[in-house]
Structure 1
């Protein structure tokens, strides 16, 4: 079981790392529609260009390492040649595509468990009185922990599982796949035992990790550029909201509300605008609120800065883009 869990965890790490790379390449517009011999290939990247990009962004030290990284993604069916002709990633002007962009990603039973675990993790983090907490057991502190019986109650309450028996079986599958663990390697049972989410889905992965035997060889970095987090919260709560209500302010004297994009005029001002000035009744700024419903990956945008913040990147295929959010 331990060997299988290690293999499945490795697969999950590759999936998360590949998805983070896909979002970055969309942000950098490395992925785009391309033409060859009068035919258009949507959402593609050029192998030679991606090798250059990995070196430029210090994800790889040389071209050989870049090729090995992309070959790993190819072997795990994260990417593929547009015509599936090449099983080896070649440093040439060949078109490749992420399977998530063309809907060919193979959702086998193992991948489904991983995606289910990721969704449950995010929903637990989103709960106001979250069950996912830092707890102590026998003098040892564990992060991202939950009590088995409480988690099963929550799964039933949220409609994730119809019965306690099925919820318990789901817990066992998450344990077998290395997504959660018990401090003493105990099997998952409906009771008062403490379990820990072994996998932090929000950790920023480095691509070089794909070539390491141990996926935990590099310390965790919780400041992921692909996750929007609450900044400066008193309780240290940096959870997502599954349904995000985002409020922005537009300069009413410059554009009508219907034509103005979030924070567009704000960032063109020559001086710093305080939050108090933004919220002053009768002032020159108009508040606009829209709702983003997150998917299994997140909300699909990157936020930076504070007082005020700005939108640094938007995933073209994500929930944020669907409601009209744009880079500012």
Structure 2
């Protein structure tokens, strides 16, 4: 999906005086897959994309075509319009992925060749050490909470006992990650997997819908097809996470030949505008917080909007930012020690994207009385 954004295969498109944000043309995607050796022929490419549709990864922009066709039809990734299903299984998978990426990037020697009952296992870790690490990294506050988290990962096939002989217990037993999240899978692998259809569309905290949508209306704010998409997590990975982008398009079309698209600016979550002077004035009802956010393989899991000062427009509930304590409506004061009170969200986004994976942000939020 990100490659398609980078190469402008996914972009805002016009048809019959209507703009469809962040979509691709079926025929063009098939051409792209063949040019990049992701599929050997057009029939195979169609089968691959049909798999993505069956899993709820993509859909026709108006949900009219369930069968993917080699034609000039508009399709869209559900992560680009906020309808990707964040069910419990997806959330656990994304949490496991974030923990794995954090563990691999930490430089710890916890995962290494180890021996249990005379048998040597590669890339294994000890249960009690893993719990210690989760608490140290802030993934859990107590051993019981960490143990519950790891049991969920085991039940969803993220980790396993090295010989599948035990459930998870806080002990010296050895476990392994069943998935190497860093391995880049090829689309062709999808053809060997069993398909599961996910019906309907799902709302997302990153999909700002109208308060009273008309029947059949699936309006959403577009995700900007620029590098800003990398700031979002959702999967997550997914993120999860889609976001409301800067283009400000509303797409409320039931089909490709209806009335024109309504254009508007993304609605701010703020109740009223606040100036930097008001934030910093003595006795102002705001408190400053420092957040340390470790980005995962997808991003940081939040959306910044506004100008002088910027504010947090949306937060992926299963992302790194939410875990660090970020909340909607907080004002961004500084990023990695640089004051950003007098710049717009584009400058803040660029500062984050060009910086290190771990970002330290100062934010101010309104006091609750």
Residue 69 of structure 2: aligned partner: 90
Question: Is 1:132 the equivalent of 2:111?
Answer: yes
Question: Is 1:55 the equivalent of 2:34?
Answer: yes
Instruction: Please state how far the C-alpha of 1:117 moved relative to its aligned partner.
Output: 0.2
Query: 1:87, 1:294 → 2: CA distance?
Result: 38
CA 1:169/1:114 → structure 2, altered by over 3 Å: closer, same or farther?
A: same
Residue 295 of structure 2: aligned partner: 295
Question: Is 1:117 the equivalent of 2:96?
Answer: yes
Question: Is 1:197 the equivalent of 2:162?
Answer: no
Residue 80 of structure 1: aligned partner: 59
Instruction: Please state how far the C-alpha of 1:136 moved relative to its aligned partner.
Output: 4.0
CA 1:115/1:322 → structure 2, altered by over 3 Å: closer, same or farther?
A: farther
User: Please, what TM-score do these two structures have when normalized by structure 1?
Assistant: 0.59
Query: Which SS does the other structure have where 2:59 is aligned?
Result: strand
Instruction: Please state how far the C-alpha of 1:181 moved relative to its aligned partner.
Output: 1.2
Q: Is the 8 A contact 1:115 1:296 kept in 2?
A: no
Query: Which SS does the other structure have where 1:129 is aligned?
Result: coil
Query: 1:24, 1:294 → 2: CA distance?
Result: 23
Deviations 1:144-170 (A, max 9, x none): x22111111121222212332221121
Query: 1:139, 1:151 → 2: CA distance?
Result: 20
Greater relative CO, 1 or 2 (CA 8 Å, sep 6+)? 2
Query: 2:349, 2:112 → 1: CA distance?
Result: 28
Match of 1:184 among 163, 166, 188: 163
Q: What RMSD, in angstroms, separates the aligned Cα atoms of the two structures?
A: 2.6
Structure showing the higher helix proportion among its residues:
1
Residue 23 of structure 2: aligned partner: 44
Q: Which runs of 5+ in 1 are unaligned?
A: 1-21, 215-291, 301-316
Match of 1:65 among 23, 44, 54: 44
Query: 1:116, 1:40 → 2: CA distance?
Result: 35
1:245-284 equivalence runs, <5 A: none
Query: Which SS does the other structure have where 1:195 is aligned?
Result: strand
Query: 2:142, 2:50 → 1: CA distance?
Result: 42
Query: 2:100, 2:17 → 1: CA distance?
Result: 45
Query: 1:63, 1:103 → 2: CA distance?
Result: 29
Query: 2:24, 2:82 → 1: CA distance?
Result: 16
Q: Which runs of 5+ in 2 are unaligned?
A: 195-291, 301-345, 356-369
Question: Is 1:172 the equivalent of 2:143?
Answer: no
